[in-house]
Structure 1
Amino acid sequence: MTQLSFWGPDDQRSPEPRTGTTVTLRLLITVKAAPNPSARHGETVCVGALSVDPGRRSWIRLYPIHFRDLDDDNKFRKYDIVTVDALPAVQDQRQESWRPVVGSVRPEHHLNTGNARRDYLDPYVEDSMCQLVEHARAASSARSIALIRVHDVSSLSITRHRGWTPEQQAKINGYLSQLDILDDHDRAPLQAPRFTGAYRYRCADRRCRGHRQSLLDWEFVALQRRLGGLTDAEAADQLRTKFLDQLCGADRDVAFYVGNQAARPQAFSIGGVYAPRRPTGRHRLRLSR
């Protein structure tokens, strides 16, 4: 299984702006997808966010973000509120897609608590992944980002990553060749993650017969790096503990940030888990394994 390009253009080309006028967006960062190879920048990251501007509340996709190239003042975390200058992405039919202006990200503050995050995000949690897929199959311009309530989770499968495809490796090699000629920085090539992951779950739609979607969360890959000294079995167990037992535990109100691919609008992946702690006495998520 190759690493998918979560929310970003599948051919990795940077979209051109529809106009020459930039717009300043104020956003709550909700997703940082795992990086993918880029011939121009070595790696690029796709970011999902919720606009928090009054009168412009909507989901936003920012691509490409060259995260390792950002100055410290421009770097941001999940659940940061930031401003960024951006333009609509002309090569992407998905209306949520914007192209950020390099170096324009300005973090304001971080939402530390679950309650602070709930105030922004709970109104946007919806029940039906099934309906989202149906609409995407019917029209490529249908809504492509959502926060989907999870009824129950049956499994998190973790398998060995097969490594970069020849096309992805060629992008990495091309970028390193550029560095040799134009740059004296010592830049390590992007390494393929050790594992891929996929959830099996049912959304809150009464018709739901189940979904299987890849997990493309930056945090899922980052944890793998920290588990490098463990065997495959031990590392996989730690990943399941974090992303299944803890984040999808009975004490959480679980929803998945989902986004689709430009070339295959009906194919959605999970960019991250929204898992605020459940108030005492509320109905509990069923974790069925």
Structure 2
Amino acid sequence: MWVVPLEQLPLWGPSTDEDPKPKPFLARPAKLRLLITVKAAPNPSARYGETICVGALGMDPPWTGWIRLYPVHYRHLDGDGQFHKYDIIHVDALPARQDQRRESWKPIVDTITIERHLASRQSRRNLLDPLVEDSMCRLNKQARDDPGIRSIALIRVADISALQVKRHPGWSAEDRKKIARYFDQLDLLGRPAKRSPLHAPRFTGAYRYRCADRHCRGHQQTLWDWEFVALQRHLGQLTEAEAEEQLRSKFLTQLCAADRDVAFYVGNQAARPQSFSIGGVYAPRRPTARYRLHVNR
């Protein structure tokens, strides 16, 4: 069992977002300044070939707090727009009217510009640590009682019992239809045929863990992190057992080590608001004993 020591718990304050804010109605796009926190794994799209869902933290009033951008056809972005985790970006976007989740925005992707990468770990902690919450159990209950409740959170992990890595079953029939429609669309428009379909990843992943709620009986949630899928591409020459070992080494042994403050970026689905999955891992290293001693003086 990978145990995250509970001595760091007072480091993070509880969420104060108890009063749900209604989704705004805007006649024209808002200009958002965001810290990218999650890039989810791509999924097939009939229009773009593939799209990703992006989680971010709004940095400037009035658009602060958690924000979801979808759809983002990331592979089609030019070099100046291909952002990475913990980049600060600017983008014009409108609240997603067909999505009841209040954090969801529809970006105008060709307006994306990158301001800079937030490289300082302490700067990241200053922004993100106050948002970490104790209880996935509580968030699940809130979502069952009210589908319009918060759909994104950063949940503190008390201990992790496993990272389950399983063979991906392949795209669903609906996903295969989307891929086929994408290529049919290209043919009809006479565009160059040098396009490659989105291949299903080799593996799926799911964490089994307990949140920091003292009554927690455990959670199992699928991992949809872009980085989990991207690493698989570099492991293509390995056997299945070897690749599984490398994935667990990175996402369990390293990221969830005892010297890290581990929390999961979680989000739910528009069609299934009671179902949360993990979009990414937040795992800054804990201060050393010497550093804590210095601070306490």
The reply to whether TM is greater than 0.5 is yes
1:161 paired with 2:168, answer yes
**Cα deviation code 1:199-246 (max 9, x no counterpart):** 000001111000000000000000001000000000000000000000
- Check conservation: 1:28, 1:80, Cα contact below 8 A: yes
**Cα deviation code 1:231-262 (max 9, x no counterpart):** 00000000000000000001100000000011
Q: 2:138 matched to which residue of 1?
A: 131
Write out the 4+ residue segments of structure 1 that deviate beyond 2 Å after TM superposition: 17-20, 54-57
Q: 1:238 matched to which residue of 2?
A: 246
**Cα deviation code 1:87-141 (max 9, x no counterpart):** 0011111100000013011110001131121111111111110111100000110
Gaps of 5+ in 2: 1-23, 291-297
TM value normalised by structure 1: 0.90
Out of 93, 116, 121, the position equivalent to 1:86 is 93
Q: Give, in whole Å, the separation in 2 of the partners of 1:19 and 1:116.
A: 32
2:237 is matched by which residue type in structure 1?
G
Secondary structure in structure 1 of the residue aligned to 2:110? coil
Alignment of 1:264-279 (within 5 A): 264-279=272-287
1:58 paired with 2:65, answer yes
- Check conservation: 1:18, 1:89, Cα contact below 8 A: no
Q: How far off is 1:57 after superposition?
A: 2.4
Q: Give, in whole Å, the separation in 2 of the partners of 1:54 and 1:23.
A: 11
Secondary structure in structure 2 of the residue aligned to 1:74? coil
1:271–1:136 distance in 2 versus 1, CA, 3 Å: same
Q: 2:129 matched to which residue of 1?
A: 122
Q: How far off is 1:264 after superposition?
A: 1.1
1:194 paired with 2:217, answer no
Identical amino acids, percent of aligned pairs: 67
Q: 1:215 matched to which residue of 2?
A: 223
Q: How far off is 1:178 after superposition?
A: 1.6
Q: How far off is 1:187 after superposition?
A: 1.1
Gaps of 5+ in 1: 1-16, 283-289
- Check conservation: 2:55, 2:69, Cα contact below 8 A: yes
Q: Give, in whole Å, the separation in 2 of the partners of 1:112 and 1:58.
A: 20
Q: Give, in whole Å, the separation in 1 of the partners of 2:266 and 2:208.
A: 14
- Check conservation: 2:91, 2:109, Cα contact below 8 A: no
- Check conservation: 2:166, 2:205, Cα contact below 8 A: yes
TM value normalised by structure 2: 0.87
Structure whose alpha-carbon radius of gyration is higher: 2
Q: Give, in whole Å, the separation in 2 of the partners of 1:56 and 1:62.
A: 13
Out of 37, 47, 58, the position equivalent to 1:30 is 37
Query: How many residues are aligned here?
Result: 266
Q: Give, in whole Å, the separation in 2 of the partners of 1:130 and 1:24.
A: 34
1:174 paired with 2:181, answer yes
Secondary structure in structure 2 of the residue aligned to 1:262? coil
1:137–1:222 distance in 2 versus 1, CA, 3 Å: same
Q: How far off is 1:281 after superposition?
A: 3.4
